[in-house]
């Protein structure tokens, strides 16, 4: 046994046994010492700063050789108190907070929240069809961009680099659409209570049609790289097994649930935003493994494109319809137009409130500083996010700010399946299993 003074790789005796610290990836200086111990049982702390744990997820793995005997998850490293913060802002300002939770699916956070506020206000049916179709279109684009990260980083973590390059190429095209429509590429606060922040810019639909064509062509590249790839199949088939009984008791939703063969998708089961008017399928597999979940995500891309195409043809017919409810006491007073800096003001609106109508000025001031009142009560609204059931529990006391906002985050709930999927398997398969849950830590910790 050597006595070394490497500051990045040291070991010390504790009550729990000998603890080895490797901070610089410097295993060489420790390997001899670890090799000399007779103990097979090792507890490895993986994360929260580990490139393959999908952000700041901490996994505590108990190992016998390379077999995982116990998995524990540590979360909370990204807790930002979004739920508490929204209690101190107006209902409209809440959108800006909730969009930052699950940062890969901001539009789902916003839409779920706004559907809840609208239900509390009792204006669900007053939201214009154009606003609803735009929401659906943006959500489905968001599903594509989110699945692209899930597939790309999932493959990357298992050592396949090329799919990641292709996936991010496609994601970039979707983010360009977001930038064109909402002005921002992520955290766009685009969906607002009562509608959406602004209408589609001129020429948006033709750009979207072009993008659909490119995406459909490019998705094939990723399919060719992974479907049927023997290394990929060996790394994913039969890995991370979780059957239907496991899913229901753990409250698992989304692709993980659908990989057990159950076609449970809230877009079909409990439609919102008019999803009952769209033609699309719910892809399922019955393998209960990582490969099945990967196939489901792949097939959902095509289904999302189908929905977007139907949105485009609907939007062409709905040209000129407003994108915000008619009630001026709820609708955000001005339709902001995008300037060179990303966001701008509506000059017409400023002319009206500053020069023509004092009433309009008062309304603008009250709505912006105070916000609107929401009748007392509580609601629970859901949308099918890329990761499963995104639920929003809102309580109002009748005031201009939420009394309580709680998010039922699919990532948070689904991450509970980690131990069920990983225990008894190989340590290398932990990575595949966690990647197939696709947790986003911003959503887990909120």
Q: How far is the CB of 420 from other proteins (least distance, A)?
A: 8
State yes or no: residue 89 binds other proteins (CB under 8 A).
Answer: yes
Q: How far is the CB of 239 from other proteins (least distance, A)?
A: 21
Considering only 175, 353, 401, 441, the residue that binds other proteins (CB under 8 A) is 401
State yes or no: residue 438 binds other proteins (CB under 8 A).
Answer: no
Phi, psi of 43 (to 5 degrees): -105, 120
State yes or no: residue 206 binds other proteins (CB under 8 A).
Answer: no
* Residue that the structure tokens 């010492």 belong to: 33
Distances (CA, A) of 64 to 43, 74, 149, 421: 9, 21, 32, 17
State yes or no: residue 406 binds other proteins (CB under 8 A).
Answer: yes
Site string for other proteins, 158-197 (x = CB under 8 A): ----------------------------------------
Q: Which is nearer to other proteins, 270 or 346 (CB)?
A: 270
In this structure, the number of other CB atoms found within 10 A of the CB of residue 389 comes to 23
Considering only 102, 199, 384, 389, the residue that binds other proteins (CB under 8 A) is 389
Q: Which is nearer to other proteins, 104 or 392 (CB)?
A: 392
Q: How far is the CB of 377 from other proteins (least distance, A)?
A: 5
State yes or no: residue 416 binds other proteins (CB under 8 A).
Answer: yes
Q: How far is the CB of 395 from other proteins (least distance, A)?
A: 6
State yes or no: residue 100 binds other proteins (CB under 8 A).
Answer: no
Whether the CA torsion 31, 36, 37, 39 is positive or negative: it is positive
Considering only 76, 322, 344, 424, the residue that binds other proteins (CB under 8 A) is 76
Number of residues in the chain = 446
By CB under 8 A, which span of 160-168, 225-233, 295-303, 385-393 interacts with other proteins? 385-393
Give the angle subtended at the CA of 385 by the CAs of 322 and 53, to the nearest 5°. Answer: 135
Q: How far is the CB of 174 from other proteins (least distance, A)?
A: 29
Touching other proteins, residues 325-364 (CB under 8 A): 329
> For residue 323, which of 181, 140, 178 has the smallest C-alpha distance?
181
The site for other proteins, by CB under 8 A, has a size of 52
State yes or no: residue 242 binds other proteins (CB under 8 A).
Answer: no
Residues 6+ away with beta carbon under 8 Å from 38: none
In this structure, the number of other CB atoms found within 10 A of the CB of residue 5 comes to 6
In sequence order, what are the beta bridge partners of 64?
A: 41, 67
Considering only 360, 366, 423, 426, the residue that binds other proteins (CB under 8 A) is 366
Q: How far is the CB of 257 from other proteins (least distance, A)?
A: 9
In this structure, what token pair is assigned to residue 208? 């979207």
Question: Cα(191)–Cα(358) distance, rounded to whole angstroms?
Answer: 28
Considering only 159, 201, 378, 428, the residue that binds other proteins (CB under 8 A) is 378
In sequence order, what are the beta bridge partners of 68?
A: 63
In this structure, what token pair is assigned to residue 266? 């809230």
State yes or no: residue 313 binds other proteins (CB under 8 A).
Answer: no
State yes or no: residue 248 binds other proteins (CB under 8 A).
Answer: yes
Angle of helix 427-437 versus helix 290-317 axis, rounded to 10: 20
> For residue 255, which of 334, 359, 150 has the smallest C-alpha distance?
150
User: Strand, helix or coil at 175?
Assistant: helix
Question: Cα(1)–Cα(36) distance, rounded to whole angstroms?
Answer: 8
Residues binding other proteins (CB under 8 A): 75-76, 79, 81, 83-85, 87-89, 119-120, 122, 248-252, 262, 264, 269-270, 329, 366, 370-371, 373, 375-380, 389, 391, 393, 395, 397-401, 403-404, 406, 408, 412-413, 415-416, 445-446
């Amino acid at each position: 046994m050597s006595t070394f003074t490497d500051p990045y790789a040291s070991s010390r005796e504790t009550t729990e046994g000998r603890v080895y610290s490797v901070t610089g990836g410097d295993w060489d200086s420790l390997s001899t010492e670890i090799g000399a111990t007779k103990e097979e049982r090792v507890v490895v702390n993986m994360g929260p700063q580990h490139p393959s744990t999908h952000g700041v997820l901490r996994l505590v793995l108990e190992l016998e050789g390379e077999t995982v005997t116990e998995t524990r998850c540590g979360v909370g490293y990204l807790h930002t108190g979004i739920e508490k913060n929204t209690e101190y802002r107006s209902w409209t300002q809440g959108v800006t907070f909730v969009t930052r939770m699950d940062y890969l699916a901001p539009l789902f956070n916003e839409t779920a929240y706004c559907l809840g506020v609208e239900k509390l206000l009792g204006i669900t049916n007053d939201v214009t069809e154009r606003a609803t179709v735009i929401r659906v279109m943006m959500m489905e684009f968001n599903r594509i961009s989110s699945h692209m990260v899930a597939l790309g980083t999932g493959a990357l973590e298992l050592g396949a680099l090329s799919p990641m390059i292709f996936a991010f190429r496609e994601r970039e095209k979707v983010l360009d659409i977001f930038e064109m429509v909402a002005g921002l590429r992520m955290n766009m606060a685009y969906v607002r209570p009562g509608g959406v922040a602004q209408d589609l810019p001129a020429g948006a639909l033709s750009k979207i049609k072009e993008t659909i064509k490119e995406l459909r062509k490019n998705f094939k590249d990723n399919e060719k790289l992974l479907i049927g790839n023997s290394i990929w199949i060996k790394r994913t088939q039969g890995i991370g097994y979780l059957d239907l009984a496991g899913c229901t008791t753990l409250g698992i939703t989304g692709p993980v649930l659908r990989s057990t063969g159950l076609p449970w998708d809230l877009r079909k089961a409990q439609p919102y935003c008019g999803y009952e008017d769209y033609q699309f399928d719910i892809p399922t597999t019955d393998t209960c493994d990582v490969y099945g979940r990967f196939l489901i995500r792949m097939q959902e891309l095509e289904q999302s494109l189908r929905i977007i195409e139907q949105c485009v043809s609907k939007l062409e017919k709905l040209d000129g319809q407003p994108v915000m409810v008619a009630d001026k006491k709820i609708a955000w007073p001005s339709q902001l137009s995008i300037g060179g800096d990303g966001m701008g003001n509506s000059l017409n609106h400023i002319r009206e409130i500053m020069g023509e109508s004092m009433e309009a000025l008062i309304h603008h001031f009250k709505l912006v500083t105070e916000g609107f009142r929401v009748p007392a009560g509580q609601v629970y609204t859901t949308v099918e996010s890329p990761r499963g059931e995104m639920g929003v529990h809102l309580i109002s006391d009748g005031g201009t700010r939420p009394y309580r906002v709680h998010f039922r985050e699919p990532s948070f709930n689904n991450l509970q399946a980690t131990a069920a999927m990983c225990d008894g398997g190989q340590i290398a398969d932990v990575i595949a299993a966690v990647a197939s849950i696709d947790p986003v830590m911003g959503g887990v910790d909120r």
